[in-house]
Amino acid sequence: MVEGSCLCGKVKYQVEIEPEKVLNCHCQFCRKAHGADYATMAIVDASTLKLSDENGYLKEHQSGAGGYRAFCSECGTRLMNYSPDRVSFFCVSLSTVDTPLDLKPAAHINVGSKANWCEPYEGIPQFSAFPENL
């Protein structure tokens, strides 16, 4: 179990992370939402998530592919993405994890829509879309 939080600390969470499900996503939605070349996301089992947000700062935006992207409405930190049922697909932004982690992302995904200026680093597999066997 790791602990995570947004930049201002109003939203906190605990969740179980599986290193083989940590991915660098280069899709245009992640790039735009995070304001970054790619987003490192951990696909998690939503039943392991414990959210601490007493004052309701976590807001969600419905974005591409029918999913939701959740962020802290106070500081803007992007924390989570999930399917409408909040169960079948759920991931957290690895950069919001506070617990020291000794892991390496398993793959670059959606490289087919990566930023032209971004050269995904070597040493892990690259997939042009979302790999089916995950």
**108 makes contact with Zn ion (CB under 5 A):** no
Structural contact between residues 66 and 42, judged by C-beta atoms closer than 8 angstroms: no
Question: Binding Zn ion by CB under 5 A: which of 22, 23, 25, 42?
Answer: 25
Residue 13, Cβ density class (10 Å: 0-12 exposed, 13-18 middle, ≥19 buried) = buried
Q: In the β-sheet with 12-15, what is the strand arrangement from edge to edge?
A: 2-5, 12-15, 50-52
**134 makes contact with Zn ion (CB under 5 A):** no
Shortest distance in whole angstroms from residue 81 CB to Zn ion: 8
Question: Binding Zn ion by CB under 5 A: which of 22, 27, 43, 111?
Answer: 27
The footprint of Zn ion (CB under 5 A) covers 6, 8, 10, 25, 27, 30, 72, 74-75
